[in-house]
A and B are shown apart, each in its own frame.
Chain A
Amino acid sequence: MSRLQVITGGGGNTLDIIIPDKLNKYKENTKGLWLLHDKFGTSVDWPGFSQIEFFAEDHNFIIVCLSCGDASYTDWKDGFEWETYLTEEIWKYVHGLIPMLSERPEDNYLCGCARGGFGAIKFALAHWDKFGFAAAFSPDNSTIKRYLKGEEVQFGDRMYGSIDQAVKSNDNLEYAAECLAKSNEKLPEIYIACGFNNSAYECSVEMREMLFCKNYAVIWKESDSDGGWIFYNEQIKKLLDYIEGCD
């Protein structure tokens, strides 16, 4: 297994890219798995806190770990455009850097933990032409939920602009799911895993039900875990096995 730690320079940030040894030879349209960290994280979270490098050896993905700081994978009204940066600029950059990585949505999978889980589902709904699958472990969309209820308004205004703007934004997963469901586009597959002792459980169930109602294919996995990196580590292994039909 080789690992590339990329500092993109010029005002950009970091990427960690994991390539199993079996993919050292050029193979067109190699599948990609894009990993999103929780809040306050960086691209080293997944390699540092999980065994993803070890698990990846048994699979056929190039794994791209993104960095998004504490920006909730969002284009901030009063801040930086993280969603656009990651889904357009970094998308193009990574495909230019590693030409064998497929650009087809059916070959590009998202997976995130907690806030990254929210980010994964959001990116799959809003960027269906790039990603065909999103997995979320204990997804956390609490920031926008609180804002839409009129809580933490000052902070929310900085992120979303106004409640009206937030309602009709990619961050409002129900709105994003509805818009995509009404289009003629292929819907991404959504995979949600959560422990029923985890604080995100109720939120995860709400997401599941919302997506079911809009005819999304949702794979639901629950366990008695409290969450955290032991849980995410277990789940990423199960996810890789699931995607490649090994489970």
Chain B
Amino acid sequence: MAYIRLTFNSQHIGRTEISIFYPQEAHGRSPGGRLQKKLSITRTRNSQTRHEPSPVSKDVRYQCLMLLHGGGGNFGDYPLKTKLQQECENNQLVVVMPTMLDYIDKSEELGSYYEYVTKELPEYIQNIFPVSGAREDNFIMGFSYGGFFSYYCGLRNPEKYKCVGCTSAPVDIIADISKFHYGEPGMPVLEDIINTDFDILALARKHAEAGTDLPSLFQIVGTEDFTWDFNIKARDTLRALGIDHTWIQGSGGHTYDFCDWSIREFMNWLPLKKMQSI
């Protein structure tokens, strides 16, 4: 697995950093493999040794997971705090981990992370790298507030994602703000977001009534997590709406250890394609 640190000029949020896990066996090649000791042989100079075009079709595109860290984190969280790199290699999945400074999408000072995560960054990734733009090949997942934001992005753009996941996330954001962050500077005014798209459960209800073709939803939380009650209520609400929803619980709290395990569960659940190797 290759690790890429991407420094990017976003039109929405300014200059920012992103971590990317990129599969080592790119299209069947062994890039960056071991440097081998061999005798040096001067190449013969004739047309038969001319470089052949790449044997792999440039139509082959990787599937991609947008993975959002929790509040207060940055692009280094997943590489440093989890062992996901090997998991991503095993699954031949490109994983994009942006720095998220805002999940509220209402901060003029910080810019629109919503536009950045759902449109600008995916377009850049798909233009530069051999990554698919098809719905069936795109997934979004996050930890804690990153998980809330994944649901927010996924449910506002159901046509873009095949699967949306969250771990240890305050999906019921209304309950979370009400209990833990009411009146805090930087948090939205509760009364301003009830029944808006920010209100995930209200948004899900709206979609269910409209019969929207939604992504498959995945929700995972630890039994010792402080968001447990919010997650239970969200789970029950989503199930009652008849939305395609997978629930997993495990022993653990609001930690990256639990996050590490839960993202593996998510990847095992994803409809991943086996990449053709040449």
Contacts and interface: CB of A to CB of B under 8 A. Distances in A.
B57 to A, nearest CB: 10
Contact of A81 (B31, B32, B40): B40
Interface stretch (A11-19, A216-224, A236-244): A11-19
Contacts of A127: 51
Contact of B2 (A9, A26, A184): A9
A183 B48 CA distance: 12
B179 interface: no
B9 interface: yes
B127 interface: yes
A13 B40 contact: no
A3 B36 CA distance: 29
Contacts of A165: 40
Determine which residue in A74, A79, A129, A169 has the highest number of CB atoms from chain B within 10 A of its CB, and name it: A129
Interface in B161-176: none
B38 A161 contact: no
Interface string A1-31: 1111111111111000001010011100000
Interface stretch (A97-105, A109-117, A133-141, A145-153): A97-105
A85 B42 contact: no
B128 A98 contact: yes
Contact of A2 (B6, B37, B38, B49): B6
A246 B198 CA distance: 51
A4 B128 CA distance: 11
How big is the B interface, by class? Answer: 35 or more
Given A4-B4, A96-B26, A185-B45, A169 B40 contact: yes
Contacts of B129: 97-99
Contacts of B22: 6, 97
A214 interface: no
A92 B29 contact: yes
Contacts of A169: 40, 42
B37 A11 contact: no
A131 to B, nearest CB: 10
A99 B53 CA distance: 12
A220 B266 CA distance: 59
Grouping DSSP codes into helix (H, G, I), strand (E, B) and loop, the B interface class, with mixed when no group exceeds half, is: loop
Interface in B1-53: 1-9, 22, 24, 26-27, 29-40, 42-43, 45-47, 49-51, 53
Contacts of B38: 75, 81, 84
A3 B8 CA distance: 7
B33 A80 contact: no
A84 B45 CA distance: 16
A10 B86 CA distance: 12
A81 B26 contact: no
B35 A82 contact: yes
B51 A93 contact: no
A24 B40 CA distance: 39
A96 B54 contact: yes
Contacts of A182: 45
Given A10-B33, A24-B127, A97-B26, A4 B5 contact: yes
Nearest to B124: A24
Nearest to B8: A2
Interface of A: 1-13, 19, 21, 24-26, 74-85, 89-90, 92-93, 95-100, 103, 126-130, 160-161, 165, 168-170, 175-176, 179-180, 182-185
24 contacts: A2-B6, A6-B2, A6-B3, A9-B1, A11-B32, A12-B35, A74-B40, A82-B35, A85-B36, A92-B31, A93-B29, A96-B54, A96-B130, A103-B54, A126-B42, A129-B50, A129-B51, A160-B40, A161-B39, A165-B40, A168-B42, A170-B40, A175-B42, A180-B45
